[in-house]
Amino acid sequence: MTGSFVLRGAYVLDEEGGFSGPLDTVVVEGRVAEVQRGAAAPAGIPEYDFTGLWLMPGIFDCHTHVTYSATTWGESVQTPLTQWVLEGAQNMREILAAGVTFVRDAVGADPGFRQAVDSGFVPGPRLQVSWNQLSQTGGHSDGFLHAVGIDWAWTPDWPGRPATVVDGVEEMRRTVRQLLRAGVDWIKLCTTGGIVSEGDERDAPYFTEEEVRTAVLEAGRLGRSVMSHAFGGEGLTTAVRAGVRSIEHGLALTEEQAGEMAASGCWLVPTLAAMRDIADWGEGAASGEDNPLSSRGEAIRKALEVGPLIGQAVQIAKAAGIRMAVGSDCIFREQHGGNLRELPLLHQAGLSVEETLLAATAGGAELCGVADHLGRIAPGYTFDAIVLDQDPGDLSIFSQRGGVSGVFKAGEPVLRHERCGDLGPKRQP
Ligand SMILES: [Zn+2]
């Protein structure tokens, strides 16, 4: 019986975000059969002593970009599609080994990535994909190359990829339907400008409420939802009123907007690690350091405004009762694998340890609509799990790479823990 074993004596994350135990976790064919002290093991399945270890569900990263690697504009326009895809496979391996067993990809990965992982061709987290992020002409994802007059969607062109820039209700309807035809799980919109992009101000509003409503309606008819990149201002309000399921970033969220989000059940994915990196790059680049924002005056100006705002939205959202999920928003190769940095940052911003651990597991599962079988270690749930050698109580274990010492996906050890003998592959050096 593959994916069948007993892990004896670990502390296991419970429904309140604390750890119960020591408990024995019985896994049969990739699913949790039992979690209790002294659980009887079905005959013939191996047992491992997990005394003094911590066990929790695999982490949900609800906003990252597994295919993004290039660190400069020049590199991104020069990279062939095939190299881009294969480096994406390497990124996925690192993300999985870091303890992330589920990713909601917020632009980049097409449904082929999801299918390749599901088929077992390449190791990676379970994926929900949006493929594109749609914006209006001049918006955040309009990377028009002025010198050559070419539309540039941040990545090499891709056979069959629908448009990235859409204007008006009818173009929105057709593009959303094309993405749904391709098999995306989410529709991603940009209803405000960005920071690392050029030609768009951070809180400038993009898309009319009618355009966003059209995306929400078309996605909803096929059981899909919309996530919206929005930092603040009118574009954030528009997205919430039009019925998007989650706001991404929300850096300049106000109390009034938070009230509307809470009333409509809209989630917030604050992406604090990415905001921290952007603020640091801005300061570094302004003093001549070589980093992804170097020599990009407009992006540096916008990045320098980020620092003082980091974490403010988390406190406003928490006070308003908004549900939050973890999103690392990695956009360069050096960031992949450091996804779990987001957890201590959420705690520093005001979530309790328990709230943070639940946001990273059961919360992410709920946002992504898979909470009936993923995101908990409980009977009947698929055994996607991580092992920790230290008490994660202060969350600092997540701030360093390699803090997670074992990873299981559907009961398969995808990162071998030393207590599991020769079960599964070891971490790559
Ligand atoms: Zn992003």
How remote is the CA of residue 133 from the centroid of ligand 1, in Å? 9
Q: Quick check: 186 and 225 in contact, CB under 8 A?
A: yes
* Structure confidence at residue 168 as a pLDDT band (50, 70, 90): very high
- State CA 126 to chain mean position distance: 11
Judge whether residue 297 has pLDDT over 90: no
Choose between 428 and 160: higher pLDDT: 160
Choose between 151 and 285: higher pLDDT: 285
- Of 207, 152, 199, give the one whose Cα is nearest residue 176: 207
How remote is the CA of residue 39 from the centroid of ligand 1, in Å? 43
Residue written as tokens 């990809």?
Answer: 105
* Angle 146-147-151 from CA coordinates, rounded to 5°: 45
What is 2-51 written as a DSSP string?
TT-EEEEEEEEE-TTSSEEEEEEEEEETTEEEEEETTPPPPTT--EEE-T
- The answer for residues whose C-beta is within 8 angstroms of residue 127's C-beta and 6 or more apart is 66, 102, 103, 104, 105, 109, 113, 114, 117
Per-residue tokens: 168 = 């008006």
How remote is the CA of residue 32 from the centroid of ligand 1, in Å? 33
Q: What is the pLDDT of residue 198?
A: 80
How remote is the CA of residue 198 from the centroid of ligand 1, in Å? 15
Residue written as tokens 């809470």?
Answer: 262
* Angle 403-408-409 from CA coordinates, rounded to 5°: 130
Q: What is the pLDDT of residue 72?
A: 82
Model confidence pLDDT, tens digit, residues 326-335: 999 999 999 9
Judge whether residue 59 has pLDDT over 80: yes
Model confidence pLDDT, tens digit, residues 348-382: 999 999 999 999 999 999 999 999 999 999 999 99
Q: What is the pLDDT of residue 73?
A: 81
Q: Quick check: 336 and 91 in contact, CB under 8 A?
A: yes
Q: Residue 249 and residue 315: Cα distance in Å, rounded? A: 13
Average pLDDT over the chain, rounded to an integer: 94
State if pTM tops 0.85: yes
Per-residue tokens: 227 = 């996530």
Pure H helices in 195-341: 209-221, 234-242, 255-264, 272-286, 297-303, 312-320
Q: Residue 349 and residue 353: Cα distance in Å, rounded? A: 11
The dihedral region occupied by 21, where left means phi > 0, alpha psi between -120 and 50, and beta the remainder, is left
How remote is the CA of residue 373 from the centroid of ligand 1, in Å? 26
DSSP state of 76: H
Model confidence pLDDT, tens digit, residues 80-99: 999 999 999 999 999 999 99
Q: What is the pLDDT of residue 428?
A: 66
Judge whether residue 214 has pLDDT over 70: yes
Q: What is the pLDDT of residue 429?
A: 55
The H or E element that residue 269 is part of is strand 267-269
Model confidence pLDDT, tens digit, residues 18-53: 999 999 999 999 999 999 999 888 888 999 999 999
How remote is the CA of residue 55 from the centroid of ligand 1, in Å? 29
Task: Give rounded-to-5 percent helix, strand, coil for the chain.
Answer: 35, 20, 45
How remote is the CA of residue 63 from the centroid of ligand 1, in Å? 6
Judge whether residue 156 has pLDDT over 90: no
What value does the mean pLDDT take over residues 71-84? 89
Please give the biggest Cα pair distance in the chain: 69
What value does the mean pLDDT take over residues 91-119? 97
**Beta-carbon neighbours within 5 Å of ion ligand 1:** 106, 329
Judge whether residue 421 has pLDDT over 80: no
Q: Residue 167 and residue 210: Cα distance in Å, rounded? A: 11
DSSP state of 70: -
How remote is the CA of residue 244 from the centroid of ligand 1, in Å? 16
Residue 75 to residues 79, 109, 195, 299, 361, Cα–Cα distance (Å) = 6, 19, 19, 17, 35
Q: Quick check: 190 and 229 in contact, CB under 8 A?
A: yes
Beta-strand pair 5-13/19-28: antiparallel
Judge whether residue 293 has pLDDT over 90: no
Q: Residue 127 and residue 137: Cα distance in Å, rounded? A: 29
How remote is the CA of residue 330 from the centroid of ligand 1, in Å? 7
Give me the residues paired with residue 189 across strands. 134, 228
Model confidence pLDDT, tens digit, residues 192-208: 998 888 888 899 999 99
Q: Residue 24 and residue 22: Cα distance in Å, rounded? A: 7
How remote is the CA of residue 82 from the centroid of ligand 1, in Å? 22
